[in-house]
Amino acid sequence: MDVLERIGDQVKSNPVVIYMKGTPQFPQCGFSMRAAAALQECGVPFAYINVLQDPEIYENLPRYADWPTFPQIYIDGELVGGCDITLELHASGELKSLAEQAAAKGESAGA
């Protein structure tokens, strides 16, 4: 499978997914740490991909949605943005709402 197809599959099969450096438990950069913490505070399960462990994704993810930096957060198959946008959405309460809606949609689709 082509790496862009693999990324597309990950984005579409997970209601909420973050591509980050490290893991939510052991982030490898401050931006990834803050974005993952914002998602965790929403209380909605999310998937994560450690881009440092997959050189193909690290190299090609910026091409997938034309977003040059990490982390990248996708909700309901759409790019939400990086750290700054995620933190703004979290502060306004919108991140939690988006994540909850996507998770509920994912649960009903899987039922």
The amino acid that residue 4 corresponds to is L
Residue 109 has pLDDT above 80, yes or no: no
**Prior bond of 27 cis (ω within 30°):** no
Question: Which residue ranges are tagged as binding site for [2Fe-2S] cluster?
Answer: 29
Q: What is the pLDDT of residues 55-79, one digit of tens each?
A: 999 999 999 999 999 999 999 999 9
Question: Which residue ranges are tagged as binding site?
Answer: 29
- Whether pTM > 0.75 for this model: the answer is yes
What are the residues whose beta carbons fall under 8 Å from the beta carbon of 48, sequence distance 6 or more?
Answer: 17, 18, 19, 20, 23, 24, 36
Confidence tier at 97 by pLDDT (50, 70, 90): very high
In the chain, the domains with their CATH numbers are 3-83 (3.40.30.10)
In this prediction, residue 28 carries a pLDDT of: 97
Distance CA 28, CA 49 (A): 12
